[in-house]
Amino acid sequence: MTTSHTDPELTAFVTYKQSLERFQDALESIREIADFAAANKESIEPEWKATVTIEAPDIAGVPAERTRSAVAAMGEYIKALVAVGHEFGLTEGSPAVEEARKAAVAELNQKLDQKFTQLSDENFDAASYASQMLSMHAPRRRTGVILSSLLTSAVGDFEVLFSQMVGMYFALRPQALSSRELQFSWEDIRQFDSIEELRSFHADRQVEQLMWKGFDDWMDWLEKKMKIKLSDVALDSDAVAEVFQRRHIIVHNGGRVSRQYLLKAPGVSPKPAIGVKLTVNKGYLEKALDQLFTLGTLLASSVFFKLATGEGVRGQGEIWLTSLTHNMLLNNRWEPALRIANAGSSLFRTDAGRLAMRLNSWAAKKKIHGVNSIKAEVERWDTSALRDDYRMSRLALLDDFDGAWEIAKKLLMAGDMTRQEVEELSILVSDEEELEACLIAEFGDLVERKSTSSDQ
């Protein structure tokens, strides 16, 4: 990326920030499209609605009401299955939830079998007839196609981000370009007006050659060149590896499990059989986006903070990554926020940066596991010599709402804190409704927060 900055590290910060912003914007757009597809499934796949009103042809010796009833029974069964999916969620739940879902499906199967038995005789097999009729009017799984395409797009967006970080590496470590594997002829060299142009071409070629390889090769390069392991930057190493393999079989094998998929996604459980078609539903896509977002953010941040040495540039990076994590909390992305806050703080050098990330980490952990998961640590945090806003945050994390609210009012009245900043205490407290009630009683309606490019 070309900038007007002459300081290579400042240029690297701009690259880091803008590359991640574009990546986040892309993933957020994918989330919005997935939400739209899920909310408009009946419009996208109208055949699902039509299955209960298929015009069934007459069969000699079989009353028309029986043929229509057979098709209608199958259509109602499909609608009931969809309702069960919405009731129990589209993602994997606890063992108890899974058992309840299986029991609900088993009950629907039993009712359908009973209905088909009532409609059948020696001249008419209701189950077979309904299946044949529905296969003739089989709904096209357009939503599944959309979600699969969105997954491949998200992985492609990660690839762009990764290539930009590799380019940053060569820009700040030009000595890494000295390789015996790459040689230039005199004709190659004559194309360039300067050594800098030749070096830039050399770097671009190395990035391009690396990007032609696969995810495992990228991670091997990252560990070899930067001492960054997949486990250092992933939300879940096995899960994110499976996302890349899922994308591979969608693009190259029609979504069907291959031997390579099983070899390169060893963490999958239960293991699907070779040839089984894997689909992408909204629940899977949501989890995959969290995996990719966390991987991209931590990978880019790890590369930047390992390469940048200037305190000023690193300080800007700390402020920006802390703000990004804070915005994730505001948008209820608890799991990625917790992972990035914990890993990000280890990249920081300043005490202020580490403290800000520790607050983000406590907030995310509290939202996921409850106040008792952080209580002992926060109680040991001595804020007596710190600013009032830190004391307020400590009390809010411990759910001492009255104490936190008194300090918040004081800061508001003094102009040391904005109304929106007080509203954002919602990420620290357990009872967000109590905070909202106090704010409305004291100052009127809440401020409407707008999403930023770093929201995720």
Q: What is the pLDDT of residue 204?
A: 65
Length of the chain as a residue count: 456
| Mean pLDDT calculated for residue range 316-330 | 94
Q: What's 256's DSSP letter? A: B
The phi, psi pair for 384, rounded to 5°, reads -60, -30
> What's the predicted TM-score (pTM) here?
0.75
Q: Give the tens place of pLDDT for each residue, 266-285.
A: 888 888 899 998 989 899 99
Q: What is d(CA 197, CA 105) in angstroms, rounded to the nearest whole number?
A: 65
To the nearest 10°, report the CA torsion of 333, 338, 341, 342. Answer: -160
Give the highest mean pLDDT range of 122-136, 183-197, 365-379.
365-379
- pLDDT the model gives residue 455: 43
pLDDT in tens, 169-204: 888 887 766 555 455 555 665 665 555 655 665 566
Q: Tokens representing 258?
A: 């291959």
pLDDT at 145 over 50: yes
Give the Cα separation of 276 and 82 in Å (integer). Answer: 22
CA pair distance 312, 12, nearest whole angstrom: 13
Q: By mean pLDDT, which of 47-51, 89-93, 195-199, 426-430 is the weakest?
A: 47-51
Residues paired with residue 62 on neighbouring β-strands, in sequence order: 59
Across residues 325-344, what is the average pLDDT? 94
pLDDT confidence of residue 77: 83
pLDDT of residue 316: 95
Residue in the structure block whose two tokens are 């997935």 = 34
pLDDT digits (tens, 9 = 90+) for 304-313: 999 999 999 9
d(CA 80, CA 111): 11
Q: Which residues on adjacent β-strands are paired with residue 121? A: 124
Within 13 A of 76's CA, how many CA atoms are on the CB side? 13
What is the percent of the chain where pLDDT is above 90? 47
